[in-house]
Homo-oligomer: A and B are copies of this chain.
Amino acid sequence: MASITRRRAPKVSRPVSAEDEILAATRRILTGGASFTDLGVQQISVEAGVARSTFYAHFRDKTDLLLRLATDMLATSFDVASAWEPTDGLDKLAEDFLRILGVYREHAAVLRAVGEVATYDLTVRDFWSQGLAQFTDRTIAALRAEQAAGRTPADVNLVSAARVIVQGGERAIFDQVTTAPPTDDAAFARELAQTWWYGVYRRPA
């Protein structure tokens, strides 16, 4: 089900509420490398220092918690999607990718959890798809404009190209973040940008 938006305590009294404690504890555990699926409510509660029943007073279930974690994450890095201009040149593209790499590294734990649950839970999958759709839409629009301007060949299949870019790109970035050291990020971002530029936009080498 959809998670219900919860209002915070009207008074400013408590420095940290149980809810914040739970969110922080979950982030902590996930950062430690644990799988969200294998995580128990009990375990989270203990780590957060609250009773198990308190967990259910704030979150409908584990999915609700994950959705809160994910929306909080998006709220702190909302500009990433809107700042993404896919046709500003090769160097600009590489820069944008590097910035996205940074965001991914920062929120790797939550991103991993979302990617995990999205594979078997419809609610989370829809949530994430909706986020990626932003990128897909922008990419298709940009490609269409490039074609209209005659800079990209007309035979480029917009939908397929966007799929390769967004779905494939997201996965490659995720893989880079989870398996390669941050020092390789710049080289990877450049390679990804070049693949786009020459492969998808078909700009002459």
| Number of copies of this protein chain within its complex | 2
- By size class, the interface of chain A is 35 or more
- Which chain B positions have C-beta within 8 A of A167? 168, 171-172, 175
Whether A197 sits at the interface, judged by CB under 8 Å, is yes
Main secondary structure of the interface of A (DSSP, over half): helix
- Which chain B positions have C-beta within 8 A of A121? 35
- Which chain B positions have C-beta within 8 A of A188? 157, 160, 163
Q: A120-B37, A199-B194, A205-B202 are in contact. Are A187 and B172 (CB under 8 A)?
A: no
User: From A203, which residue of chain B is reached at the shortest CB distance?
Assistant: B205
In angstroms, Cα B120 to Cα A121, docked, is: 13
In angstroms, Cα B36 to Cα A188, docked, is: 34
What is the interface of chain A, defined by CB distance below 8 A to chain B? 35-38, 112, 115-116, 119-121, 156-157, 159-161, 163-164, 167-172, 175-176, 180, 184, 187-188, 190-192, 194-200, 202, 204-205
30 A-B residue pairs with Cβ-Cβ distance under 8 Å, sorted by A, are A35-B120, A35-B121, A37-B37, A37-B119, A38-B120, A115-B119, A156-B194, A157-B190, A157-B191, A159-B184, A160-B192, A163-B176, A163-B180, A163-B188, A164-B168, A164-B172, A164-B192, A164-B195, A167-B168, A167-B171, A167-B172, A168-B168, A168-B172, A171-B171, A197-B199, A198-B199, A198-B202, A199-B199, A199-B200, A204-B205
